[in-house]
Structure 1
């Protein structure tokens, strides 16, 4: 279900989408449902009682709700991601974008392929080369409302399908100007909106491994499986617009930008299999 048809919308529209999925879940108790929301606003969840009620109703029906932490950086987390019962997702980056580990990484452009292609093998146990993007929403208690960050996932220059016309591709700096010239195009974007579907996909794997889990148990598994990141850190990251390295820091202001750490799919599925009553 697509709740919003444009780049903006209202909490009432979001609530309507959530209620639609909840109705499906109630009508099909033999199935499990996951809501993935790459959206939000820098306001408390109580700014929209309808949205909060819709989320509470969904979770009570066994629907797992995942939402972006927002791109406000040190200004705080966006609702509904900041709402505690929701699995909230911040954005991380890693080695290939940093000066310390070589900004070319293992990326390359294969000019022999039609339109070109970019490949990368993300190393396992890569916490030591991960960083928190400067735009990723942090817990900011001074805003006066409760905010809870669960995990971070890749959200720095993620590639995905995007319906743009010729010449509109947002090409990464390492592509040397080569894009996808045939048929549909792909778009490189950074944001917690890109990080969120990573977690939603892992939630689906968790529920496939153990469909008896409650939303609260799924959230606990996502947290427990995460690889902890340092509360404070820094990285020199290549800016594709200025073509210069910029120093990015997190945690030195006392704001929690890492949550429980970096998403780990394999560990999460293993925990799901070991948890509670598993029926396969």
Structure 2
């Protein structure tokens, strides 16, 4: 942890509730600010910040430059400007914070300024209770299976799954019936890194970068490797059923969360800028922070999401795992609660919302957009192995993979077109929109 006026919080200290949500809201802030500047008047915004908040040193990051960004973000004497996104992570002494906020409100070249917060991986740490209902197994040719599955879903039931060849999640989203592979499409996964030596990823990882000080991109947590596997695992894995949605997509792995599973908004921003500069069509973020009922979405993430959409990149994020249904339901986490970011809910094997999946109860951007398999999902693990995990984190890369398939099928589509196509292609479910959005994710 860097020493300095911000009293930066050490990674991994944040306490968790048994179901994986953050308990201590008062210590989620780092002391820095994320500031968005008017692209047409960036220098005026920087000058206003320098004069009001006594910001002396600004380091500029351009394009794919990222070699020393992690260290720059930790330095208490430096603010970092990501020029491609016109966004800065600003160091501000406590006595200058009021001046910065006042300046941001009055200066037209400053679009938004918000306190930087901690962000977390979203695993499930509660006992992984099995669904209370099971249904008779069936197996025939794939078309018959697909028809039966949809009939049962429409009737409010769900199938049992035989996973000899395909994971249940890939069957549920019809990836087993798609001829698309994601070839030529880049998926960026912002997470805890990746096992670069995993044999299933050989020749598939185009670029990696760590934005966590003192840690390489190697995944000491497991969360990132698992998510990358679901989004872009191979057609023929070394062991078990196929688990990757887009087996020929190119992988961009950005480590924005530490091996303890935590990071900062600034690290996420750095990963976003790096991914966009590398030409990612999809950014998958199985991470977030809990929000309270009635809390508005963060302006900084929303504006950044709009800017990435304009550059052809769709952002998809996990809705969060704070709920314990049916009694305790929490709103969609940030940054998934932004209108321009796709929020993904988790479904169990009965094609019903998992007990932990958050819901669209805040509105104003905090809606669930789509639902995907997020229960006992089989995918890659560090050390060349495999494991099952549950969470909206596991649902999210299913969506990222399908977006890559859509981008392959429609190479000239805008990011807005890809988002619209994803939602219009979903299979409607009987559960409330607040829980499942457009419905069950479907591969084209």
- Give the one of 257, 260, 277 matched to 1:4: 257
- Give the one of 310, 313, 317 matched to 1:67: 317
Q: Distance in 2 between matches of 1:227 and 1:150?
A: 12
**Partner residue in 1 for 2:274:** 20
User: How big is the shift at 1:185?
Assistant: 2.6
- Give the one of 379, 397, 402 matched to 1:197: 397
- In structure 2, stretches of 5+ residues that fail to align are 1-253, 324-328
Q: Is the 8 A contact 2:371 2:441 kept in 1?
A: yes
Q: Distance in 1 between matches of 2:340 and 2:304?
A: 12
**Partner residue in 1 for 2:436:** 258
**Partner residue in 2 for 1:140:** 361
- Give the one of 50, 53, 59 matched to 2:303: 53
**Partner residue in 1 for 2:213:** none
SS across alignment from 1:160:
strand
User: How big is the shift at 1:10?
Assistant: 1.0
User: How big is the shift at 1:209?
Assistant: 0.5
Q: Distance in 1 between matches of 2:296 and 2:394?
A: 22
Q: Distance in 2 between matches of 1:85 and 1:51?
A: 9
CA 50–256 in structure 1, closer or farther in 2 if over 3 Å, else same? closer
Q: Distance in 1 between matches of 2:335 and 2:269?
A: 10
User: How big is the shift at 1:66?
Assistant: 1.0
**Partner residue in 1 for 2:344:** 89
1:84-142: per-residue Cα shift (whole Å, max 9, x none)? 11122110012xxxxxxxxxxxxxxxxxxxxxxxxxxxxxxxxxx4111011110112x
**1:217-236 maps to which residues of 2 (within 5 A)?**
217-231=417-431
Q: Is the 8 A contact 1:12 1:50 kept in 2?
A: no
1:173-199: per-residue Cα shift (whole Å, max 9, x none)? xxxxxxxxxx63322111000011111
Q: CA RMSD in A?
A: 2.0
**Partner residue in 2 for 1:120:** none
CA 227–53 in structure 1, closer or farther in 2 if over 3 Å, else same? same
User: How big is the shift at 1:24?
Assistant: 2.5
**Partner residue in 2 for 1:131:** 352
Higher RCO, Cα 8 Å, sep 6+: 1
Q: Distance in 1 between matches of 2:403 and 2:441?
A: 11
| Aligned residue-pair number | 182
User: How big is the shift at 1:46?
Assistant: 4.6
- Give the one of 136, 151, 169 matched to 2:370: 151
Q: Distance in 2 between matches of 1:13 and 1:229?
A: 36
**Partner residue in 2 for 1:40:** 288
Higher Cα Rg, which structure: 2
- In structure 1, stretches of 5+ residues that fail to align are 26-31, 95-128, 164-182, 232-250, 270-280
Q: Distance in 1 between matches of 2:351 and 2:389?
A: 18
1:217-276: per-residue Cα shift (whole Å, max 9, x none)? 111111111111112xxxxxxxxxxxxxxxxxxx5xxx81111100110xxx3xxxxxxx
